[in-house]
Amino acid sequence: MADQVPIEKGLFTWPSEDPRLIGSRCLDCNAVVFPAQSGCPRCAGDNTQVKELGTRGTLWTWTIQGYPPKSPPFEGDIDNFEPFGVGYVEIHDEVKVETRLTTANLDELQIGMEMELSFVPLYQDSDGNDVITFAFAPCEA
């Protein structure tokens, strides 16, 4: 079985027991952003700290990517392209995160619905590893 590797180091804590996205929080004004960064875009200070984000939120908006993105930069399968969902999930009291969605079925997507973080294989890199990234999934009813 192929090894699994994260799409980028420092973006999330997968693989781990309770994998989370890694953002940052401003210690002066409490603003949260994702991914983590050294400066605060809200108060223009530079007193930020890494923060693991919550794993649940509500769907703020969404679309479905209906055509294959250009490659590069896209690394997914262009030849057998499958539309995928994209949205912003508002993680409670933290930040809205742009994310792939685990469904591309518009009947399953509704603004305001509860979503939870998951991790999915996206493509194989040149070494044959499965590249893993984050995607939000509708919560089980």
The site for other proteins (CB under 8 A) is made up of 7-8, 11, 23, 31-35, 41-42, 60-67, 69-70, 72-76, 84, 86-88, 90, 93-98, 100, 106, 111, 122-123, 131, 133
Closer by beta carbon to other proteins, 76 or else 116: 76
Closer by beta carbon to other proteins, 1 or else 98: 98
Write the DSSP assignment of 23-85 as a string of letters: EEEETTT--EESS--SS-TTT----EEEEEPPSEEEEEEEEEE-SPPPTTT--S-STT---EE
Rounded least distance, CB 141 to other proteins, Å: 21
Rounded least distance, CB 17 to other proteins, Å: 23
Rounded least distance, CB 140 to other proteins, Å: 24
Rounded least distance, CB 86 to other proteins, Å: 5
Separation between Cα atoms, residue 116 and residue 102, nearest integer Å:
10
Q: Do the Cβ atoms of 87 and 102 come closer than 8 Å?
A: no
Closer by beta carbon to other proteins, 8 or else 46: 8
| Largest pairwise CA distance in the chain | 48
Q: Which of 114, 121, 119, 122 is nearest to 89 (CA)?
A: 114
Which amino acid makes up residue 74?
Answer: F
Closer by beta carbon to other proteins, 38 or else 140: 38
